[in-house]
Amino acid sequence: MSEFQNIGLIGRTENNSAVLSLKRLMTFLEGKGFSVVLEKETSLSVPNHKARVSTRDKLGELCDMVIVVGGDGSLLGAARVLAKYNVPLLGINRGRLGFLTDITPDEIEQKVGEVLAGKYLVESRFLLDMSVTRDGKLVGKGSALNDVVIHPGEFIRMIELDLYIDNQFVYTQRSDGLIISTPTGSTAYALSGGGPIMHPKLDAISVVPLNPHTLSSRPIVVEGSSEFKIIIGRQNIANPHVTCDGHDQIITEPGNVIRIHKKPDRLTLIHPIGHNFYEICRSKLNWQNGN
């Protein structure tokens, strides 16, 4: 008997191809006798189903595993909610790049079947917690599997900020913003900003300036246990925005303090046998293949 009996499903409902894959996956799971639990919003795209329905939060309590059908963004959203439950996530790619959702639609029965039979790899990823305080009072918070990004918002204006790591002053920087990235996020926005690619097993965090005013300002990589404090400069004309994985947007004011550190809860990702980070990089980033 499989260790996974209650399978939660989250789908990218606005994507027709994702809905088709979701229905195909449901048919496969129910045909094999597994109990399917549909996330509430996802259930609206599957009329006349007979599965249980749950809020996304409750999936973590009801399920032994959650399968996400969509792109990396869909999996990021699920991870932020479900990491605290320690329920493993498996991704079926119906997006574009697919660094996290690594089963292709035509492999659903084969690869999901192998996972349910106990043939899989387990990977642990850490997330970041972020908070913003104003005059000592909490005004917003969020969590991120990829990155926390400070940016100007609607208008492109230079931001001034002070960066501290583990209570040690690093620099005052003028730039278009700052990306604080996990290894998971190092192949996302941080990569576009010129940051380093970090292997997912690394316990490290990268700090990537966005178009810094000085050419000597470069990305740095620090320990994963590092605590970040970023003070928004009082001379800023713009009110910088803070986002976590592109969500949980908070508009800051001059003098506000942003704190970022590793989240205590970790995400458990499941991959099919044969999953290879470097092979994914070669495929998704068009690295050259050897002869």
- In this model, does residue 10 exceed pLDDT 80? yes
User: Of 261, 264, 253, which Cα lies nearest the Cα of 133?
Assistant: 253
Residue 67 is assigned to a structural domain of this protein: yes
Q: Are residues 57 and 174 in the same domain?
A: no
Residue 277 is assigned to a structural domain of this protein: no
Over residues 190-203, the mean pLDDT reads 95
Over residues 224-250, the mean pLDDT reads 91
* DSSP reduced 3-state for 187: helix
- Spatial separation of the C-alpha atoms in residues 109 and 90, rounded to whole Å: 13
Residue 1 is assigned to a structural domain of this protein: no
- pTM, to two decimals: 0.92
**For a pLDDT cut of 90, what percent of the chain falls above it?**
75
- Would strands 177-181 and 204-210 be described as parallel, antiparallel, or unpaired? antiparallel
Q: Are residues 147 and 210 in the same domain?
A: yes
CATH label of the domain that carries residue 152:
2.60.200.30
Q: Are residues 146 and 203 in the same domain?
A: yes
Instruction: Give start and end residues of each alpha helix (H) in 109-188.
Output: 113-116
- In this model, does residue 155 exceed pLDDT 80? no
pLDDT in tens, 59-76: 999 999 999 999 888 999
pLDDT in tens, 207-216: 999 989 887 8
Residue 281 is assigned to a structural domain of this protein: no
Residue 285 is assigned to a structural domain of this protein: no
Total number of domains in the chain: 2
What is the average pLDDT score of the chain? 92
Q: Are residues 93 and 154 in the same domain?
A: no
User: What pLDDT is recorded for position 291?
Assistant: 57
Question: In this structure, are residues 146 and 76 in contact, taking their beta carbons and an 8 Å threshold?
Answer: yes
**For a pLDDT cut of 70, what percent of the chain falls above it?**
98
> 57, 72, 147, 166: which one is catalytic?
72
Q: Please, what's the b/e burial string for 210-244 (b: 16 or more CB within 10 A of its CB; e: otherwise)? A: bebeeeebebbbeeeebebbbbbbeebebbbbbbb
- Select the highest-mean-pLDDT range: 13-17, 47-51, 176-180: 176-180
- In this model, does residue 185 exceed pLDDT 80? yes
Confidence of residue 153 (pLDDT cuts 50, 70, 90): confident
Give whole-number Cα distances, 130 to 91, 143, 149, 273, in Å: 25, 6, 10, 34
User: What pLDDT is recorded for position 238?
Assistant: 78
CATH label of the domain that carries residue 23:
3.40.50.10330
Residues spanned by the domain of 17: 6-118
Q: Determine whether 129 is an active site residue.
A: no
Q: Are residues 89 and 174 in the same domain?
A: no
- Other Cβ atoms within 10 Å of 291 Cβ, number: 3
Over residues 220-239, the mean pLDDT reads 92
